[in-house]
Amino acid sequence: MEKGRIRKGIGGFYYVETDQGILECRARGIFRNKSQKPYVGDMVSVTRNEDGSGNIEEILPRTSLLLRPPVANATQAIAVFSWIDPKLNATLLHRMLLAGEQKGLRMVVCFNKSELMKDADRRMVTDWFKNTGYPILFTSVAEETNLDLLVEELKGHISLLAGPSGVGKSSLIEKIARGGHRVEIGELSEKIGRGKHTTRHVELFRLEGDGYLADTPGFGNLALDEDMDVQELETLFPEFDDYREQCRFKGCLHINEPDCAVKDAIGGGISRERYQFYKTIHEEINNGIRR
């Protein structure tokens, strides 16, 4: 059997990238019997039929699975926001980064439409995320600024773009993916008489540098899991890593405890913006609020 990666799925058909090109496949009924479902991003084993179509015989082990958006084996998310047009929703950005940490994704912060930002704005957001390890990019599709830096961050990853409507996610995808593999899949669909499948479904674009970018139409946010507790929350802020072991009490939650190294670092190695957000989520969890 051949192995390949599902690049697109629609109407019961799955387009699998193999060493021989894109193969249109159906999933065996055995998956329905096992309550299993192939997802875009899955590595699968396939067999070929005489008519040039194929069958998915096995879903290979996954490293991750997101259900919103439905992507398997994603390794990172790019949180795309703008400073204005639309105006930055900082709380949404912080929540998205927190959700990415919870799901084990590498997170990148991308401020698109950067031509509308002042130098002081850039310094402010860079300061927010000091010591987090998150790459901070300032891109502009209109001026084609720093798109090469974004491409570098995508190499070797299965990435998805998340962010509110209007920040330019689709424009970034068009610039980076350049439509090459959309044509590849579309031509195959047209040849077998099913049109180009232009409805809104997740699709992976192949990028240079052994990477994939997920086009996830209509998707804007990574949601936090509802079962998170305050002990887990404390571990999802990477800027706390250099300080938590220095706290006086093991298991310190950095709220009311004395001799807390995390609180002592606020305004220095930890930004006030991020710590205030931490306190907000901590309070929400204690009060049973889920958003």
Feature table: binding site for GTP: 163-171
Identify which of 79, 73, 70, 101 has the alpha carbon closest to the alpha carbon of residue 224.
Answer: 101
Q: Specify whether the CB–CB gap between 212 and 206 falls below 8 A.
A: yes
The count of other CB atoms within 10 Å of the CB of residue 109 is 21
Residue keyed to tokens 């899949």:
185
Please report, in range form, the residues annotated as the binding site: 163-171, 247, 252, 254, 260
Identify which of 146, 148, 135 has the alpha carbon closest to the alpha carbon of residue 112.
Answer: 146
Please report, in range form, the residues annotated as the binding site for Zn(2+): 247, 252, 254, 260
Identify which of 141, 139, 154 has the alpha carbon closest to the alpha carbon of residue 206.
Answer: 154
Q: What are phi and psi of 188, to 5 degrees?
A: -65, -45
Q: Would you list the DSSP string of 219-282?
A: ---PPPPTT--HHHHHHT-GGGTTTGGGSSSTT--SSS-SS-HHHHTBTTTB-HHHHHHHHHHH
Q: Specify whether the CB–CB gap between 81 and 167 falls below 8 A.
A: yes
Helix (H) or strand (E) holding 154: helix 147-154
Distance CA 18, CA 114 (A): 38
